[in-house]
Structures are given as structure tokens and as C-alpha cells.
Structure 1
Amino acid sequence: MSDNRLSVFKTYKLYVGGKFPRSESGRVYEVTDSKGNWLAHAPLSSRKDARDAVVAARKAFGGWAGATAYNRGQILYRVAEMLEGRRDQFVREVGEAEGLSKSKAAAVVDAAVDRWVWYAGWTDKIAQVVGGANPVAGPFFNLSTPEPTGVVTVVAPQESSFLGLVSVIAPVIATGNTAVVVASEKAPLPALSLGEVLATSDLPGGVVNILSGKAAEMGPHLAAHLDVNALDLTGADADLARELEIAAAGNLKRVLRPRAEEDFTAAPGTDRMTAFLETKTVWHPTGSLGASGSAY
């Protein structure tokens, strides 16, 4: 084979509605490694890209929320299988993004895949933890069950480009929500590659939408968008988080605030899943009164 073969550079694109558009503005920005060396050009998403992502997430919500929890778990597990198959690619991208040795980057990628499997296993179990039958005085069944909140905007962690990313996306979709993800501005490549994995998995298009660019530019529009139901501000700094939380108050969005020095290597727990769940309570008579019951 010829030694003069030209390298084929990868073109990174957004992942919106199951497709790979460039930013509608045509803008890009340089992504560099921890030493300042050029890695790629990433799309610089615009307000229009953010709106398109919300439309896609809303369109996908009904089908995803209506799927059985067992089915969601199987689909998430399939994503983990595909991540495992592209392990070497993610090891390279995470190592470059975070300045890690190959062995340390491999440990991060393995932890991220394990985390995805962990959340896949919770899809059909979280209802037993946060729901149940309530004791009431009277001839009624009173049952509380969790339901997804809706479309969740996620500001991904800035430093933990893959393990942190998985740790905020997986719990949102495991519980039936759909997501609009603003990737790490300085290290977006693992997130954009995750979009390629999701596109070729069984995950319906629009369940996860991944944007690269500036959270400070897109965040205010997403926080004020009336079709966004909740915000995860994990990757926002204090000033941006405050601005977005104020904007979110306009239609009473749920907000998960950033936590100081969050350790994504620690055991995750269930709090990220319960953060974006609503509780529906149904009353139903125990006798044969013919009533259909009512929900509140």
C-alpha cells in the first residue's frame, strides 16, 4: 500500500431528531486537546438549532414515555453493547479531551459503559422504589405511580466529557423523558460520537438530541422555551445557572441545580432518576360500583 495516502479527517456534526445536521448558521469552532493541539472543528449551535432539538424531543416524547419500562431497558442495554464495540474510539477521544493516559482513559470509558448498563437495569425497577399503594380510610385503592416529566434540557459537565455525560443523560431517558443535551464546550467530541452510537442503536430518533457550542448562548433560549419541562444545570457555572433558573421560572420548570465538585466516579444512586419524575395518584373503588376511578 502507498505511504502517501491522505488522512480522512472526521467531520463532527450535531445529532438532532435522529439525523446529523450541521449548524443551520454554518458556524464551527476549533476543538483542541489538553495541550492546545487541534483535534477537529465542532458545530457552533445556534438558537435555531436549539429550537429544532426541542421540536424533535417533544415529537419523540409520547412514544418513548409510552414504551414499557422493560422495553426502554432493553434499548438502553443495546446502547451499552454498541459503546463497548466502539471502546477504542472513545478511549482515544476521552484521552485527548481530558489529557489522560490510555490506561486512565480506558478506565473512564469502562466506567461510563458500566454506568449506562446500571441505569438500563433500573428502568423497570424505579417504579417500585418511588411508587406504591397508599393506605387510605375507605373502600378505595389509592395507587401512586411515577411518570416522566417531559422534555429535559441537560447542560452536560464541562470537565468529565464522557463519564459525566453518560451520568446525566442515562437517568433522564431511563425514566421516559427525552433530552436536549448541550455538550461540554471545550470537549464536545465524545458527546458527538455518542450521537453516532445512538443513531445506530434501537433508540428512537429525537429521544436524545446533542448540541455542541456555547451553553451561555443556547441556554437562555432553552430555559425560557415553553416546550421544555425541566433543566439539569450540572455543567453550568454559578452565574449561568442563576440566569437559567430565573428564566425557567416563567413556566415552572423543574430544575436540578449544579452541585459543587461533583464526583462522577462515585456510586450514582437514584436521585437523578427521581429528579425528573412526576407522581400520578389514582383512586379506584374496591367494590363493583361501576365507577372508573379518577386521577389527580
Structure 2
Amino acid sequence: MSESSRLSVLKTYKLYVGGKFPRSESGRVYEVADAKGTWLANVPLSSRKDARDAVVAARKAFGGWSGATAYNRGQVLYRVAEMLEGRKGQFAREVARAEGLSKSEAALVVEAAVDRWVWYAGWTDKIAQVVGGANPVAGPYFNLSTPEPTGVVAVLAPQESSFLGLVSVIAPVIATGNTAVVVASERAPLPALSLGEVLATSDLPGGVVNVLSGKAAELGAPLAAHQDVNAIDLTGADAALARELEIAAADNLKRVLRPAEAPDFAADPGLARLTAFLETKTVWHPTGSLGASGSAY
């Protein structure tokens, strides 16, 4: 058979929920085009039911992931970076088509994203030393503050930065022990859906990251109102949608991260995203002859 007569095997993109690759329960898809308008793929158009399923998966995974040692989480995140490093060519092609970049420009973006993932992997067992510590008190007590993960975090990924921005909002959420439900860029979801394939073949437990493709407005509303979602990152929402979701999130006092301006994902990320979804637990422990029992607040 000549090569010219061979049929191409087109890639089927699917959601990543609970460690598996389902299609949307609604059966809906939408077309994704490159920066020039050329068709690239049909991807699932996630429904509210898909969003609820993703929250269930994230909640189920939270106990094991938040209970793992910080060192172990760092090793798992580093393994993801290793897998990304091995698939740089694929991601460079997807980023180039999604963002209208040259091959060399896209390659630099992908390398920056891999480096960003490694950077956050290195912080998993160090962030507690920065934001926690022993507090001076008047009395025979130890007073210790330690950071703990908030819980299930809904993340509206950046609309324009389809891979570096995506990594920059996912990695800090899970590095600190949270689990995530991610709504990929509506216009350029392919790098996010491919990231799901990398996560599935790394050591990351199923459900820690769940990736949905579709409309931010359609999926953001049920996630912001969901009583089992503890926090929401509105980076990928426009001003009108962000305001609407903030109001919905107030119903169960979700933590809300709403950037004041469009983030520069190429800049030094700092620690703001690592600390955005952490809670501080303070423990009082008596010293000396008062005994061994303590109390936490």
C-alpha cells in the first residue's frame, strides 16, 4: 500500500475525570480551530453533569492526596515533569497551532511550562517552612501554625495561554495538597486535554486533577455554586463572568482567587498561588508539667 493511499488516524480528544477518559455524558462536541481558522479537532463539550462528576472524583481523591507527605507529592509532581519532557514535541505542535506561534517560539513556551512544573514540585516540602512556624505566646505553651490544603478547587484556566498558563494555575493547587477540577481554555483546549494523558501515565492518583473542555460560563456556574467545592480560581473568566461566579461562590464561603489584572505567566511566579488555597491550623501544646494534651483552633 502506498503512503499516499493511507488514511490518517485522527486523534480523539476526551475529558480526563477520575483517572479515566470519558466523553461528555451529553454526547456533545465542538470544533476547535488553529489561530488561522483551520480545523484541528472535535472535542467534548462538557455539561453540568460532567462538572458534578469531576467534583465527586476530586473529593474522593482529596483524602489520599492531602494525606500524602509533602515530599511524596513533590516526587509525583516531578514525575509529571519527566513525562512532559518526553512529549515536548507534541505539546510544541499543539501550542504553536493554538496560539499562532512559530515552532521555535512554541518550543520555548513548552520548556518554560516544564520548568514551571519542576519549580512547583520543589516547593511541596518547603512552603510549610515559609508560611508556618512557631508563634511567641505568654505562657507555658508551644503555639505552632501549619498550612493545610483548602480542599477541592475549581480552576478556570487562562483563555490565551493554553499551556504555560495552564501549568501555572494547576501545579500550585495540587502541590499544596488540594485537588482540582479544571475548565480548559474554550478556544484552545487541546494542550489541556493532552496534559490529562500525561497525568494518567504518571504517578498522580486519579481524581487529583480533572480536566473538562467546553464553555467557561456553562461550567463555571455549577462549579461556583457547588457545595462540595471549597475554592475557585477565576483566572480564565472575563469580568462579567467573574463577578457572577463570585456571587455564587459566596453561598458556601468559597475562597476566591480573582486576579486584578491579566497575569504575566512568563514572569517569576512567586508564592502567591501556592498560598492562595491554604488554610492555617494553629495548635496550642502545653509544655513542662502541664501534661501532654493539646488543643487546636
What is the aligned partner in structure 2 of residue 205 from structure 1?
206
CA drift of 1:262 comes to 1.4
Percent identical across equivalent pairs?
87
Indicate the residue corresponding to 2:135 in structure 1: 134
Provide Cα deviations, 1:191-228, integer angstroms capped at 9, x if missing partner: 00000000000000000000000010011110000000
Deviation at 1:133, TM superposition (A): 0.1
Is the 8 Å Cα contact of residues 234 and 259 (structure 1) preserved in structure 2? no
- Does residue 13 of the first structure (1) align with residue 7 of the second (2)? no
- Residues 95-124 of structure 1, C-alpha deviations (whole Å, 9 max, x = no match): 000000000000000000000000000000
Give the Cα separation in 2 of the matches to 1:17 and 1:262.
Answer: 29
Alignment RMSD: 0.7
- Count matched residues: 296
* Distance in structure 2 (CA, Å) of the matches to 1:2 and 1:24: 39
CA contact (8 A) 1:235 1:258 kept: no
Is there any run of 5+ residues in structure 2 with no aligned partner, and where?
Answer: none
SS at match of 1:152: strand
Contact 1:236/1:258 (8 A) holds in 2: no
- Equivalent residue number for residue 70 of structure 2: 69
TM-score scaled to structure 1, two decimals? Answer: 0.99
Q: Which residue of 1 aligns with 2:39?
A: 38
| Partner residue in 2 for 1:176 | 177
What is the 5 A alignment of 1:191-270?
A: 191-270=192-271
1:167 matched to 2:168? The reply is yes
Paired with 2:293 and 2:56, the residues of 1 have a C-alpha distance of 34
- Kindly provide the CA deviation profile for residues 38-75 of structure 1, in whole angstroms up to 9, marking residues without a partner as x: 00001000000000000000000000000000000000
Give the TM-score normalised by the residue count of structure 2: 0.99
Which residue identity does 1:80 align to in structure 2?
A
Partners of 2:293 and 2:120 in 1: how far apart? 35
Equivalents in 1 of 2:192, 2:204: separation in Å?
16
Name stretches of at least 5 consecutive residues in structure 1 with no aligned partner: none
**Superposition misfits of 4+ residues, deviation over 2 angstroms:** 288-291
| 1:278 corresponds to | 279
Distance of 1:201 and 1:289 partners within structure 2 = 48
Alignment partner of 1:14: what SS? coil
Question: Residue 5 of structure 1: CA displacement?
Answer: 1.2
Pairwise CA distance, 1:259: 3.3
